[in-house]
Amino acid sequence: MALLVFVGPVPLLPGGCPPALAAHTTSLCIDAPAAAVDARAPPWAPLRSKPRTDERRDADAAAPRRTSFVANAAALVGPAVVRVDVERGEGRPEYSHASGFVYDGSNCLVLTNAHVVQGATRVAVVTAEGDRKDATVLGVDAHTDLAVLKVADARNLPEAELGDDVALRVGDWVVAIGHPIGLDHTVTLGIVSSKGRSIASPVMSRRDDESGARRWADRVRFIQTDAAINPGNSGGPLLDDAGRVIGINTATAMHADGIGFAIPVTVAKRVAADLAAGKRARHAYLGVELSPLTPETRRLVRDEAGDAVKLPDRGALVMRVVPGSPAAAAGLRRHDVLVTVAGAPVRDVATVLVAVEEANVGDSLSLGLRRGGGREQNVAVTTANLDDFSDPLDAPPPAKKPIPAAGRDGVGRLGVGARRSFS
């Protein structure tokens, strides 16, 4: 099982030097003169001592200059990328920094990660031009690990264009820009390794908000990329080859190279619209814990319900129904197997999770289910708002009618909960 770490913010030592750099250099972190370097000298040994001819120099000057989509993307979006400086605590505060980008220049709004500004007592942004300005946190959504900041005393900031991750293909080029380990405006290149990834790791601490509810990262189907994403990159943009933002960098796999994750921009657009308006982001909620149909879960069902129960080849197994939830009101039960959602076949748990996250609060979601090996039946579930349930799995409201007790087999809490591991 791979461990996931949310990349950033980077803690700073006294003097503003990131620990990773302090271990290797002094000239970057201490006000000492660097060794003199002749900027005109090439970093390689010359292949020949004969001077280049005038004809060759003229030919080089006349040749068209090579262009790079990476350089073009970096030049286009670089002015909109900011460093997010965070101060936590009073007396002897802690300092850290991460990344973000301006997505609405006229209103001076910045997108970053929720975990970047968690617990902040003061937030500031540093623009590409080096201007440092205070910022206000307009809102955070821990379910998707997104936050919106408003930059103070600014106007008409350069903004990044938001693209469309839906058309993104596995293998497409992507560019990441951010401030890893204190190296401002670092650009890295990679490809889309996968789409729709689930990472079942906590976004924040176990008890992270005023309701005391746990928040998990698996509200989001992440873009996986091999573009280098390091501490300090959190909140920075992931760009397509045209320089449009298609994701927000948020996490990387520990003890593994080339495995990073970004929140799709389609999710960010929806959440940011609510947060910028001073609202809490709304997420559709069913109230079921789900598990994939594995040999272990099939054996569990046989042990509890008997060998007569025949489970389908594909689907998502209901491990628990939250009392008082929409799923309970619709009559779902433990060991039901969801085989269709919104008319589409359920290939795995992620199929249901995506359908629920894409639904609006109050939508009627059609579920096809198999119960006890019987024929498929259809039920309609009216989704609720996830945040109306203070802790949807641990402390549900009283049930309107008794629901059979279920074991604590799941860890997901997507309003659909999901028991699975990331590997």
CATH number at residue 103: 2.40.10.10
Q: Does residue 362 sit within a domain?
A: yes
pLDDT of 213 strictly over 50: no
User: Quick check: helix, strand or coil at residue 56?
Assistant: helix
User: Quick check: helix, strand or coil at residue 318?
Assistant: strand
pLDDT of 304 strictly over 90: no
pLDDT of 419 strictly over 80: no
300 and 268 in one domain?
A: no
Structural domain for 266, as ranges: 172-202+213-277
181 and 146 in one domain?
A: no
The residue out of 232, 255, 277 marking a domain boundary is 277
The residue out of 226, 245, 277 marking a domain boundary is 277
DSSP H or E segment with residue 266 = helix 265-276
Q: Which two tokens stand for residue 3?
A: 């461990």
Q: What is the pLDDT of residue 408?
A: 28
231 and 248 in one domain?
A: yes
DSSP H or E segment with residue 380 = strand 377-382
Q: Does residue 89 sit within a domain?
A: yes
Q: Does residue 249 sit within a domain?
A: yes
In whole angstroms, give the CA distance from residue 403 to residue 95.
48
Q: Does residue 313 sit within a domain?
A: yes
Q: What is the pLDDT of residue 215?
A: 46
More confident residue, 71 or 305: 71
Nearest to 353 by CA among 264, 291, 270: 291
228 and 293 in one domain?
A: no
308 and 263 in one domain?
A: no
More confident residue, 374 or 174: 174
Long-range interactions of 198-202: CB distance < 8 A, separation 24+: 198/222, 198/350, 198/353, 198/418, 198/420, 198/422, 199/4, 199/251, 199/261, 199/422, 200/411, 200/412, 200/418, 200/420, 200/421, 200/422, 201/3, 201/4, 201/6, 201/251, 201/422
pLDDT digits (tens, 9 = 90+) for 41-66: 433 333 344 445 566 566 666 666 67
In whole angstroms, give the CA distance from residue 229 to residue 136.
26
Catalytic annotation, residues: 115, 145, 234
Q: Which two tokens stand for residue 406?
A: 């279920």
User: 41 — phi, psi (to 5°)?
Assistant: -75, 130
Q: Using an 8 Å Cβ cutoff, are 233 and 180 in contact?
A: yes
178 and 82 in one domain?
A: no
Nearest to 317 by CA among 280, 346, 355: 346
The residue out of 277, 305, 329 marking a domain boundary is 277
333 and 272 in one domain?
A: no
Q: Does residue 332 sit within a domain?
A: yes
Q: What number is the average pLDDT over the span 130-150?
A: 95
Direct distance between the N- and C-terminal alpha carbons of the chain, in angstroms, rounded to an integer? 5
Q: Can you tell me which residue has the tokens 């069913």?
A: 286
How big is the CA angle at 206 (ends 119 and 249), to the nearest 5 degrees? Answer: 65
Q: What number is the average pLDDT over the span 251-273?
A: 90
Q: Using an 8 Å Cβ cutoff, are 270 and 277 in contact?
A: no
Candidate from 91-105, 109-123, 154-168, 209-223 with smallest mean pLDDT: 209-223
In whole angstroms, give the CA distance from residue 53 to residue 59.
10
Q: Which residues contact 267 (CB under 8 A, 6 or more apart)?
A: 144, 146, 220, 357
365 and 328 in one domain?
A: yes
Q: Using an 8 Å Cβ cutoff, are 238 and 172 in contact?
A: no
Per-residue DSSP letters for 79-98?
GGEEEEEEEESSSS-EEEEE
pLDDT of 278 strictly over 50: yes
In whole angstroms, give the CA distance from residue 119 to residue 137.
11
| Count of Cβ atoms closer than 10 Å to residue 172 Cβ | 14
Q: Using an 8 Å Cβ cutoff, are 262 and 238 in contact?
A: yes
299 and 271 in one domain?
A: no
178 and 130 in one domain?
A: no
Q: Does residue 317 sit within a domain?
A: yes
Q: Which two tokens stand for residue 372?
A: 């006890």
Q: Does residue 244 sit within a domain?
A: yes
334 and 290 in one domain?
A: yes
Q: Which residues contact 51 (CB under 8 A, 6 or more apart)?
A: none
Q: How many domains does the chain have?
A: 3
- Parallel, antiparallel, or unpaired for β 94-104 and 132-141? unpaired
CATH number at residue 340: 2.30.42.10
pLDDT digits (tens, 9 = 90+) for 311-357: 888 999 999 999 999 999 999 999 999 999 999 999 888 889 888 98
pLDDT of 198 strictly over 90: no
Q: Does residue 292 sit within a domain?
A: yes
pLDDT digits (tens, 9 = 90+) for 250-260: 988 777 788 99
**Threshold 0.95, pTM exceeds:** no
pLDDT digits (tens, 9 = 90+) for 95-127: 999 999 999 999 999 999 999 999 999 999 999
- The beta strand positions in 204-276, using DSSP E, are 222-225, 237-239, 245-253, 260-264
Nearest to 141 by CA among 326, 325, 269: 269
327 and 246 in one domain?
A: no
In whole angstroms, give the CA distance from residue 36 to residue 38.
7
More confident residue, 3 or 24: 3
More confident residue, 50 or 380: 380
| Count of Cβ atoms closer than 10 Å to residue 253 Cβ | 19
